[in-house]
């Protein structure tokens, strides 16, 4: 049994307890960060970059242990956890380049007007609120650029994946970054709300659901001095148009919809397909989906997808499938629970063309809705039939149709003949509408980790007055 002051993490694939720890004290953690910040911000940029590179080396030393921990705490297959660890290490070089490119120094000399200079300053104390689906890579994507810029970081991991968050902070501290500069805040929603609202926290970098992101946005609406970057979810469309490559199209759909058990913000939630292609594509898609191995992280042969994060999530997904069925949906592949006690679910595919109103929500799991349309304008309109705007893909079609799709679809990531997910960290990452607040992450994370300061400078004061003064 746990006490109210303890947080416990369980392995989704087994139900076994993995980790437990005490809730953190927000005030004391913020005080320690405030004390550490002046010295960290005053460090030469080269020193901070050197320490961040040491962090990448520490991750390399523990890469197998970290991948195993991610697998056990999230349920994702070990092969996928390893790719997450690789992304954590790769983020360092990307962030160093991004800082130079996005927030570098500029000077413009003028003999009479002195020097005009552009430099950037860190905000101060940044609270990073991480998600459970990529508990190392996604918070790390905020933390590394924030630290390079000279901020202190408080990581509050998801209450569902605290062990990975603890390990990540340990690796930062082990690299020589002072403990007050990178700290761990263990807790649930209460600790999250407290650190967001804390007067000595200068920025909030959030990755998670639109519901929580909007709540944070409302909370900080009267505090314009606090930087806020929201990286939220998506109700992402994948449109399949004229193409003879049905097998490839089906593979792209499966990768988009069911990788990470559908627990990606960029996962395809809605498949929009030309009516003349429907029968052939559905037959191929169902055949491929039937071959998906669902299993525990370390199973052999390796599974394509593991469980969802917990039983509550599995229950919500199966209930959503039933809701869609009872409101006009037609099952193509039923979603099933494989074990009543563990959150393993099979991928579900449901035709929702006949539904009067399709719920515009992010069903965060392996559940794909299919909609038939008869012309390309209708496909674009259906793709835009959402308050979200993160990711969209067109599979097939002509270059001219892709140009129309790119120009008219509302999303921050628009792909052609590629999955909706798998975006590069070397490019900006973010969306519009309920998917974000126009502060894209990844390569553009440097933009919200420091603010520009413009200066005009001369070594000696020099000035004269002209019109409007009496003769002396």
Under the banding of pLDDT at 50, 70 and 90, the label for residue 265 is very high
- Report the alpha-carbon distance of residue 427 to residue 445 in Å, rounded: 10
Residue 259 has pLDDT above 70, yes or no: yes
Catalytic, 449? Answer no
- Report the alpha-carbon distance of residue 161 to residue 169 in Å, rounded: 13
Catalytic, 152? Answer no
- Report the alpha-carbon distance of residue 40 to residue 148 in Å, rounded: 10
- Residue 128: the pLDDT is 98
Under the banding of pLDDT at 50, 70 and 90, the label for residue 110 is low
- Residue pLDDT, tens place only, 149-201: 999 999 999 999 999 999 999 999 999 999 999 999 999 999 999 999 999 99
Q: Sign (positive/negative) of CA torsion 464, 467, 469, 472?
A: positive
- Residue pLDDT, tens place only, 408-463: 999 999 999 999 999 999 999 999 999 999 999 999 999 999 999 998 888 888 88
Under the banding of pLDDT at 50, 70 and 90, the label for residue 51 is very high
Structure token digits, residue 124: 């101060």
Please list the residue range(s) of the chain that carry CATH number 3.40.309.10. 236-416
Q: Mean pLDDT over residues 211-236, rounded?
A: 97
Percent of the chain with pLDDT over 70: 99
Q: Mean pLDDT over residues 301-313, rounded?
A: 98
- Residue 458: the pLDDT is 86
Buried-exposed string 206-222: b where 16+ CB fall within 10 A, e elsewhere: bbbbbebbebbbeebee
- Residue 4: the pLDDT is 67
Under the banding of pLDDT at 50, 70 and 90, the label for residue 109 is confident
Q: What angle do CA 230, 151, 457 make, to 5 degrees?
A: 110
Residue 203 has pLDDT above 80, yes or no: yes
Say what the pTM is. 0.96
- Residue pLDDT, tens place only, 243-254: 999 999 999 999
- Report the alpha-carbon distance of residue 47 to residue 171 in Å, rounded: 17
Please list the residue range(s) of the chain that carry CATH number 3.40.605.10. 6-232+436-457
| CATH number assigned to the domain covering 236-416 | 3.40.309.10
Give Cβ neighbours of residue 165 (< 8 Å, ≥ 6 apart).
130, 135, 139, 155, 156, 157, 158, 184, 186
- Asked if residues 147 and 182 have their Cβ atoms less than 8 Å apart, the reply is yes
Percent of the chain with pLDDT over 90: 92
Instruction: From the candidates 231, 362, 382, 449, give the one annotated as an active-site residue.
Output: 231
- Report the alpha-carbon distance of residue 288 to residue 419 in Å, rounded: 16
**Considering only the top CATH level, what class is 6-232+436-457?**
alpha beta
- Residue pLDDT, tens place only, 360-383: 999 999 999 999 999 999 999 999
- Residue pLDDT, tens place only, 139-151: 999 999 999 999 9
In the block, residue with structure tokens 């449901």: 350
Q: Is 38 exposed, middle or buried (0-12, 13-18, 19+ CB in 10 A)?
A: exposed
Instruction: From the candidates 265, 362, 382, 449, give the one annotated as an active-site residue.
Output: 265
Residue 8 has pLDDT above 50, yes or no: yes
Residue 2 has pLDDT above 60, yes or no: no
């Amino acid at each position: 049994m746990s006490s109210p002051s303890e947080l416990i993490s369980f392995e989704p694939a087994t139900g076994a307890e993995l980790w437990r720890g005490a809730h953190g004290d927000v005030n004391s953690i913020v005080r320690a960060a405030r004390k550490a910040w002046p010295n960290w911000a005053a460090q030469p940029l080269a020193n901070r970059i050197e320490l961040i590179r040491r962090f990448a080396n520490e991750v390399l030393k523990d890469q197998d242990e970290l991948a195993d921990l991610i697998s056990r705490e999230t349920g994702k297959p070990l092969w996928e956890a390893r790719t997450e660890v690789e992304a954590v290490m790769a983020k360092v070089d990307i962030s160093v380049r991004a800082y130079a490119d996005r927030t570098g120094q500029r000077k413009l000399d003028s003999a009479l007007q002195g020097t005009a200079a552009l430099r950037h300053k860190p905000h101060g104390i940044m609270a990073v609120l991480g998600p459970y689906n990529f508990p190392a890579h996604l918070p790390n994507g905020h933390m590394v650029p924030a630290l390079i810029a000279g901020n202190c970081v408080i990581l509050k991991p998801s209450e569902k994946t605290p062990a990975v968050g603890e390990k990540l902070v340990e690796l930062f501290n082990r690299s020589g970054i002072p403990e007050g500069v990178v700290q761990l805040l263990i807790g649930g929603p209460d600790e999250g709300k407290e650190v967001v609202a804390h007067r000595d926290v200068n920025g909030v970098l959030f990755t998670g659901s639109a519901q929580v992101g909007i709540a944070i946005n409302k909370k900080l609406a009267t505090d314009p001095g606090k930087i806020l970057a929201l990286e939220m979810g998506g109700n992402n469309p994948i449109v399949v148009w004229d193409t003879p490559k049905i097998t490839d199209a089906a593979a792209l759909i499966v990768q988009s919809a069911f990788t990470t058990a559908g627990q990606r913000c960029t996962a395809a939630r809605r498949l929009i397909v030309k009516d003349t292609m429907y029968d052939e594509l559905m037959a191929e898609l169902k055949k491929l989906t039937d071959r998906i191995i669902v299993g525990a992280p370390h199973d052999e042969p390796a599974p394509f997808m593991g469980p969802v994060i917990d039983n509550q999530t599995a229950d919500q997904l199966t209930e959503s499938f039933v809701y869609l069925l009872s409101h006009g949906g037609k099952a193509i592949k039923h979603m099933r629970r494989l074990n009543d006690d563990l959150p393993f679910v099979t991928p579900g595919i449901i035709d929702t063309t006949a539904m009067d109103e399709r719920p515009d929500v992010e069903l965060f799991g392996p559940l794909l809705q299919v909609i038939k349309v008869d012309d390309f304008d209708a496909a674009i309109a259906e793709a835009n039939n959402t308050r979200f705007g993160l990711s969209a893909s067109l599979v097939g079609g002509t270059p001219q149709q892709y140009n129309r799709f790119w120009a008219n679809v509302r999303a921050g990531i628009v792909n052609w003949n590629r999955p909706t997910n798998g975006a590069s960290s070397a490019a900006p990452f973010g969306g519009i509408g309920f998917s974000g607040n126009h502060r894209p992450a990844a390569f553009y994370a440097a933009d919200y980790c420091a603010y520009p300061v413009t200066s005009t400078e001369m070594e000696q004061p020099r000035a004269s007055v002209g019109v409007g003064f009496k003769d002396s």
